[in-house]
Amino acid sequence: MPLNEELLSSDILSYLQTHENKGLLRVLTCGSVDDGKSTLIGRLLYDSKLIYEDQLVDLQKYNDFQGVQSAEFDYSRLVDGLESEREQGITIDVAYRYFSTNKRKFIVADTPGHEQYTRNMVTGASTSDVAILLVDARHGVKVQTRRHSYVLSMLGVKHVVLAVNKMDVVDFSQKKFNEIEENFREFSTDLGFETIHCIPISALHGDNIISRSERMKWYNGPNLLRHIEGISVVPSNEKENFRFPVQWVNRPHQNFRGYSGTIVAGQIKQGDKITVMPSGKTSVIKDIVTIDGQLNRAQKHQSVTLTIEDDIDISRGDLICSSENVAQYSDQFQAKIIWMSTQKLFPGRSYLLKINNTTTSVSITNLKHKININDFSHASANVLELNEIGICNLSLAQQVAFDPFDICKSTGSFILIDRQTNDTVGAGMLNFSLRRAANLTWQNLAVGKLERAEQKHQKPVVLWFTGLSGAGKSTIASLVEKKLFDLGRHTYTLDGDNVRHGLNKDLGFTDADRIENIRRIGEAAKLMVDAGLMVLVSFISPFKAERQMARRLMEEGEFLEIYVNTPLSVVEKRDVKGLYAKARKGEIKNFTGIDSEYQVPENAEIIVETTTQTAKQAAEKIVKYLEKNGYLNT
């Protein structure tokens, strides 16, 4: 029996002790939609007698309601918890289920098969030791099977069970099973799995689930439960280096300072030498504190509070490491990213990156290529779309402590967050730090921004003019610069058309090129502000994210967004360059306002209404704003 019922009834304390000391295996079920993942887990729970009486009643009521006259239940209902899942007969969210046998405890993550929910499969796979990859015997290896296999390989899952399900539908054909096994082993050769075991099953009827199938006597291997009971997953604590991301500085009173978090790798004991990254400061572990008291030793997955012998500066996001092998730190990486948003990933756009309790700004400086899931070849790409996987270079706003993902999964993995929506849009694995990150240092100069600005008797600032093509941005910016020049101020104008003749002449007008266009201009404007100048930037800059990126490059008060508000109907009537007419005819693609979006500023410092103001009046309004807010003080 899966549970030791005799010991349970005769000696409850011995049973509990035996249960507590059993090893834990984290298992993932994945595969294409409708391959039977939820049915498989439901069948495991049912045959293991690990469902409650009310669940059994619910299964019988559902059969009665559907008018089904069968001894078999819809076992997927034991796992699919959302009402929408039950209605559609699919898995949407990740469902975690626990069960235990005499030999082992299991946490099973049932993940969705639909391509649009691949992000949920990534969530389940990130903590799993073993993956049960289901394949429908009728259809064999599909594109989603390949995608899930590649993701498993990316996330470091080393043990795969290929469960060829619905063998009853193909008359328990050994030939069909052998074809699928051969196909899978051939394409997964280079994915780095340590073990691959293939088992023919029927989740609905229970064949080869917890007992051998009489209808597939040609299969000589173990049933599914016996196989996962016996999978050897080597404990990592002995070989991993200690890693402890600080989540909270615990200071309940002035006589206690501890650092709380969860050990993500290795183990630690009192008296061990530690190094804090990225500061590099060292100390010795004094105490290991838990809610149940102090420990002499703690290991991976335990949540503890550490105290140290020395009074050194440690903050949330710092990484406490074993001094014997310290983590690296960098702000530029090569990484592998799986994109999980319907909004495309654009190189140059700023996102938030979260790693080891640290959140920082990041941009993808180079999308090297994306992975073709069918043959794992590399294909050139300018963007990543939903569920695509790419190799990228990352540039972070600050240095972070890390290990390459293949050395430590926890300290080498990260998520990407959209700045506007706070949605998680990507997950990634750090491959290595780029050489230039280690070889470049910031050179301190004898003359700084403050001295340059004082020499010019002005406050450096970026005046960022944004609006539709033909709104009047360049005209107004030119009048503002003339007034500032007459007042003796030092200025420079970066105009969209002019810059595309030189610095940005290699860029087109796709969304990706527009983002890179603004990224370069933001960096150029930052250098000019550092020189103490008043910089006028006249660009359509249609996307909020890139205008916010440019703002973040400057210090507080150094960026003023000026929205030149002119309705589309008005700029189309003006159409001095004839661009709107060409765009309407389809002669110009990706034209802002026609077939490319313009995102209106929400909190612009200055709004110019060109339907009620002349260009001269608009320029006077902007200069008065500068005077009133101290930008022209001498």
Asked if the domains 328-438 and 449-628 are classified in one and the same CATH topology, the answer is: no
Residue-level pLDDT at 36: 82
Residue-level pLDDT at 235: 57
**In degrees rounded to 5, what are phi and psi of residue 40?**
-60, -50
- State the average pLDDT over residues 213-231: 92
Residue-level pLDDT at 115: 66
Per-residue model confidence as pLDDT tens digits over 263-289: 999 999 999 999 999 889 999 999 999
Run of H or E including 241: none
Per-residue model confidence as pLDDT tens digits over 602-630: 899 999 999 999 999 999 999 999 999 98
> Which of these ranges, 89-98, 125-134, 203-212, has the smallest mean pLDDT?
89-98
The pTM score is 0.74
Q: Quick check: 389 pLDDT over 60? A: yes
* Rounded CA separation 3/575 (Å): 79
Q: What is the DSSP letter of 128?
A: -
DSSP 414-451: EEEE-TTT--EEEEEEEEEE-HHHHH--PPPPSS-HHH
Residues with Cβ within 8 Å of 186's Cβ and at least 6 positions away in sequence, in order, are none
What average pLDDT does the structure give for the chain?
Answer: 85
Using pLDDT thresholds of 50, 70 and 90, give the confidence band for residue 550.
very high
* Rounded CA separation 12/568 (Å): 77
Using pLDDT thresholds of 50, 70 and 90, give the confidence band for residue 91.
very low
Q: Quick check: 96 pLDDT over 90? A: no
- Quick one: CA torsion of 32, 34, 36, 41, rounded to 10 degrees? 90
- State the average pLDDT over residues 356-365: 92
Using pLDDT thresholds of 50, 70 and 90, give the confidence band for residue 239.
low
Residue-level pLDDT at 390: 93
Nearest Cα neighbor of 104 from 213, 18, 212, 189 is: 18
Residue-level pLDDT at 103: 83
For the chain, report the end-to-end CA distance as a whole number of angstroms.
Answer: 88
* Rounded CA separation 276/319 (Å): 6
* Rounded CA separation 603/563 (Å): 9
Token pair recorded at residue 265: 């790798």
Residue-level pLDDT at 1: 43
Q: Does domain 449-628 have CATH number 1.10.10.10?
A: no
Token pair recorded at residue 514: 């527009």
* Rounded CA separation 598/17 (Å): 64
Please state the domain extents for the chain: 5-230, 243-322, 328-438, 449-628
Residue-level pLDDT at 479: 97
Residue-level pLDDT at 507: 86
Query: 78 or 312: which carries more pLDDT confidence?
Result: 312
Q: Quick check: 50 pLDDT over 90? A: no
E strands present in 120-242 = 130-136, 159-165, 195-200
Per-residue model confidence as pLDDT tens digits over 122-158: 878 888 889 999 999 999 998 888 888 988 988 889 9
Q: Quick check: 84 pLDDT over 50? A: no
| Bridge partners of residue 135, in order along the sequence | 164
Per-residue model confidence as pLDDT tens digits over 418-435: 988 999 999 999 999 986
> Which of these ranges, 98-112, 183-197, 329-343, has the smallest mean pLDDT?
98-112
Q: Tell me whether residue 521 is exposed, middle or buried, using C-beta atoms within 10 angstroms of its C-beta: 0 to 12, 13 to 18, 19 or more.
A: buried
Q: Quick check: 163 pLDDT over 50? A: yes
SS3 assignment, position 153: helix
- State the average pLDDT over residues 542-564: 92
Distances in Å between the Cα of 414 and the Cα atoms of 126, 357, 403, 451 are: 11, 10, 11, 40
- State the average pLDDT over residues 534-552: 92
- State the average pLDDT over residues 586-591: 85
Using pLDDT thresholds of 50, 70 and 90, give the confidence band for residue 358.
very high
Token pair recorded at residue 292: 């149940």
Catalytic residue at 541? yes
b/e per residue 131-141 (b: at least 16 CB within 10 A): bbbbbbbeeeb
* Marked catalytic residue, from 38, 173, 541, 596: 541
- State the average pLDDT over residues 452-470: 91
Task: Report the CATH number of the 243-322 domain.
Answer: 2.40.30.10
Run of H or E including 285: strand 281-290
Per-residue model confidence as pLDDT tens digits over 490-510: 999 999 888 888 888 888 888
> Which of these ranges, 190-204, 246-260, 575-589, has the smallest mean pLDDT?
575-589
Q: Return the CATH architecture of domain 5-230.
A: 3-Layer(aba) Sandwich (3.40)
Nearest Cα neighbor of 388 from 347, 336, 348, 432 is: 336
Strand 328-339 and strand 389-402: pairing? antiparallel
Token pair recorded at residue 616: 């001269």
Q: Quick check: 377 pLDDT over 70? A: yes
What class does CATH assign to 328-438?
Answer: mainly beta
Residue-level pLDDT at 51: 58
Please tell me the total number of residues recorded for the chain in this structure. Answer: 634
Q: Which amino acid is at 302?
A: Q
pLDDT > 70 in the chain, percent = 86
Strand 293-295 and strand 281-290: pairing? antiparallel
Using pLDDT thresholds of 50, 70 and 90, give the confidence band for residue 18.
low
Run of H or E including 187: helix 174-187
Query: 88 or 161: which carries more pLDDT confidence?
Result: 161
Residue-level pLDDT at 81: 46
Q: Before 278, cis peptide (omega within 30)? A: yes
Using pLDDT thresholds of 50, 70 and 90, give the confidence band for residue 89.
very low
| Bridge partners of residue 581, in order along the sequence | none
